[in-house]
Amino acid sequence: MRQVSLREFRTRGAKALAEVPRGETTLLVGQDGPAFFLVPVFGDVVKEDRELRRAMALASLREGWRLAEAAGGNLATQEEIEAEIGRIRSSPGGEEDGCA
């Protein structure tokens, strides 16, 4: 993955990215460290947008988990989450109430 400074990207734009191989993700780096990813789009833009949103949601969840753990929170295991989902789905009106 190539890195391009935010300053260079602002001042030179396309020229700053010209050295990056086609299709390669680029990391824009500012004075405080990594700031943005530039991700190339190929083919089905809707599918790629969905995958990017999923990756962003996962990153957000991981950050939330990290913060909860640092604050002494008790995190549920995957098995506990699946059991809770099963309990709600099997309850009367569980799926009709938008819980599915």
Other Cβ atoms within 10 Å of 41 Cβ, number: 10
In order along its 100 residues, the chain shows pLDDT tens digits of 888 888 988 998 888 888 888 888 888 999 888 888 888 877 778 887 888 888 889 888 888 888 888 888 777 778 888 898 899 889 887 555 555 4
Report the alpha-carbon distance of residue 20 to residue 61 in Å, rounded: 31
The pLDDT of residue 52: 83
The pLDDT of residue 95: 54
Report the alpha-carbon distance of residue 33 to residue 90 in Å, rounded: 48
The pLDDT of residue 94: 56
Helix, strand, or coil (residue 3): strand
The pLDDT of residue 81: 84
Beta bridge partners of 2: 26
Contact (CB, 8 A) for 25 and 37 = yes
The pLDDT of residue 13: 85
Contact (CB, 8 A) for 28 and 20 = no
The pLDDT of residue 100: 47
Enter the pTM of the model: 0.42
